[in-house]
Chains A and B, each alone.
Chain A
Amino acid sequence: EPEVTQTPSHQVTQMGQEVILRCVPISNHLYFYWYRQILGQKVEFLVSFYNNEISEKSEIFDDQFSVERPDGSNFTLKIRSTKLEDSAMYFCASSTQGDTEAFFGQGTRLTVV
């Protein structure tokens, strides 16, 4: 069964460093998303991506964040100059269309120290 895969599963980084979280969405999906879940809090929407551009983003998704689809299979989230409060589980998701269900990856746990 096709699935969304995320790498790495865990990432520890020093405050101020840049990290790139990687995702391989399901191959025939056209919409891609990043969500995050800070420990003990709700899963929050960060950004959606369609047709090689951001279609929607939340207020969390500021200039510190960027997304890219560098080739036909990967979808990445870059966090520049990480802060302690960026520590969270980051989920990638994809869907065939914008209004259908999203399929989620297993997440990348990011710890900023």
Chain B
Amino acid sequence: AQSVTQLDSQVPVFEEAPVELRCNYSSSVSVYLFWYVQYPNQGLQLLLKYLSGSTLVKGINGFEAEFNKSQTSFHLRKPSVHISDTAEYFCAVKKAAGNKLTFGGGTRVLVKP
């Protein structure tokens, strides 16, 4: 079975500062990795995904993430956040041969002016 750990439940950050959200996973098989964002009162929206190839993936809204197989991590970063990035961010994994997502507990990002 897969599991996902997001080490930070909340991350306060000032506008225009960088942010990094940590995600570690555990799996005995190959996985695909995803980051989803949930803005207040909205559903889950895909930010980016890693399926194969380059370990640095770029997503929407200036976010990027790096897959590190040896550390089983998939940390999400943005060099300069905006107020509109205030949301909850979820890391998720899926077995390469499966179709169910396993989510982390989420990280709530609060961007302060």
Q: B-contacting residues of A (Cβ < 8 Å)?
A: 4, 6, 31, 33, 35, 41-45, 48, 50, 55-56, 58, 91, 93, 95, 98-99, 101-107
Contact = CB atoms under 8 A, between A and B. Distances in A.
Contact of A56 (B44, B98, B103): B98
Nearest to A57: B100
Given A104-B44, A104-B45, 13 more contacts: A4-B43, A33-B99, A42-B105, A43-B103, A45-B100, A45-B102, A48-B99, A55-B99, A91-B43, A98-B99, A101-B34, A102-B101, A106-B41
B43 A106 contact: yes
Lowest 3 A-B CB distances belong to which pairs? A98-B99, A106-B43, A104-B44
A11 to B, nearest CB: 16
Contacts of A55: 99
Interface of B: 32, 34, 36, 41-46, 49, 90, 92, 94, 96-106
14 contacts: A33-B100, A42-B106, A43-B44, A43-B106, A45-B101, A48-B99, A56-B100, A91-B44, A98-B98, A99-B97, A102-B101, A103-B46, A104-B45, A106-B43
Contacts of B36: 104
Contacts of A56: 98-100
Contact of A48 (B46, B100, B104, B106): B100
Main secondary structure of the interface of A (DSSP, over half): strand
A99 B103 contact: no
Nearest to B45: A104
Contacts of A42: 103-106
Given A43-B103, A45-B100, A45-B102, A107 B34 contact: no
A43 B91 CA distance: 10
B89 to A, nearest CB: 12
A103 B99 CA distance: 13
Contact of B43 (A41, A50, A98, A104): A104
A99 B99 contact: yes
B74 to A, nearest CB: 14
